[in-house]
């Protein structure tokens, strides 16, 4: 979701090796762009949780997205956040072409984006990022994904 919305390839400028795996286990996550709607950023962070049981299930994701889709009227929070996001993206596209965007992406020669078996030994236990400055935080008046998820947990 983050890659699609940000149009950024995660970890594109570093080797995809054991050192990256260790950094991810220690909490490294891709940066979430400031223009991504807060509700979606919150959901992305929830999906990246180091504890599997804290991540939403596919059923919970479906319910959240379905609720947002059906409640996507002009008075909803998701509607206003997406409108703001669309406007920001529109302004960005006016100032640069897609060709410029793709030409500026540099991929490290050891960045591999195909499925493969990784058999790294002795990786640390996964933890969540301690660098919360790169994550967006929901404002108090916007219901969090955690609050929404609690409706679907049995």
pTM score > 0.75 for this model? no
CA distance 41 to 135: 7
Phi, psi of 41 (to 5 degrees): -60, -40
CA atoms of 76 and 63, how far apart (whole Å): 16
Tell the residue number behind the tokens 């100032």, with chain if given: 95
pLDDT (tens digit, 0 to 9) for every residue of the chain, 154 residues total?
Answer: 999 888 888 999 899 999 999 999 999 999 998 889 999 999 999 999 999 999 999 999 999 999 888 887 878 888 888 888 888 888 877 776 555 555 567 888 888 888 888 888 889 999 998 764 444 444 444 445 555 555 555 4
CB count, 10 Å around CB of 40? 21
Is residue 133 helix, strand or coil? helix
């Amino acid at each position: 979701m983050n890659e699609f919305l940000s149009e950024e390839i995660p970890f594109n400028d570093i080797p995809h090796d054991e050192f990256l795996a260790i950094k991810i286990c220690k909490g490294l996550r891709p940066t979430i762009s400031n223009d991504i709607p807060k509700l979606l950023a919150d959901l992305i962070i929830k999906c990246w949780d180091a504890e599997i049981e804290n991540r939403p299930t596919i059923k919970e994701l479906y319910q959240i997205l379905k609720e947002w889709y059906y409640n996507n009227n002009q008075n909803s929070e998701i509607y206003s956040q997406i409108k703001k996001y669309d406007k920001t993206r529109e302004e960005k596209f006016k100032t640069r072409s897609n060709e410029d965007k793709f030409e500026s992406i540099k991929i490290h020669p050891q960045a591999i984006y195909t499925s493969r078996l990784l058999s790294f030994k002795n990786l640390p236990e996964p933890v969540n990022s301690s660098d919360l400055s790169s994550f967006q935080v929901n404002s108090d008046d916007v219901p969090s994904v955690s609050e929404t998820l609690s409706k679907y947990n049995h």
